């Protein structure tokens, strides 16, 4: 017999809610998926300096929250940037 206390049940519910959110995010089209700066760096495996350089050079579209200064990227814009860097085989 398994006994769970209220705290453990609450933790399980939170974990399930996070998994549900992740699942729903993955099933959205690219234009509806949003990455923050940290997510962009993880997705492209780049440094914060490189991410800033891409923004400053206009190579990657982004949105910036005027109150918090937080930067957001659409996955579709990130994929368009990657397509622009694509080199076909010889």
Looking at every residue in the chain, the average pLDDT score rounds to 87
Q: What is the tens place of the pLDDT at every residue in 22-65?
A: 776 667 776 778 899 999 999 999 999 999 999 999 999 999 99
Angle at 23 between CA 22 and CA 24, to 5 degrees: 95
Can you tell me the mean pLDDT for 10-29?
Answer: 79
Model confidence at 12, pLDDT cuts 50, 70, 90, reads confident
- pTM tops 0.75: no
Q: Where are the alpha helices (DSSP H) in the chain?
A: 6-26, 37-44, 48-56, 75-84
The CA distances from residue 60 to 6, 29, 37, 55, 76, in Å, are 46, 19, 12, 5, 10
Name the pairing type of β-strands 71-74 and 34-36: antiparallel
Q: Which domains, from first to last, does the chain contain?
A: 6-84 (1.10.1660)
């Amino acid at each position: 017999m398994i006994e769970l206390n209220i705290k453990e049940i609450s933790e399980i519910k939170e974990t399930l809610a996070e998994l549900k959110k992740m699942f729903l995010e993955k099933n959205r089209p690219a234009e509806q998926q949003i990455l923050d700066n940290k997510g962009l760096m993880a997705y492209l495996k780049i440094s914060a300096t490189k991410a800033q350089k891409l923004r400053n050079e206009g190579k990657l579209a982004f949105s910036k929250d005027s109150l918090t200064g937080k930067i957001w990227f659409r996955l579709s814009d990130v994929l368009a940037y990657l397509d622009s860097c694509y080199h076909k085989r010889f």
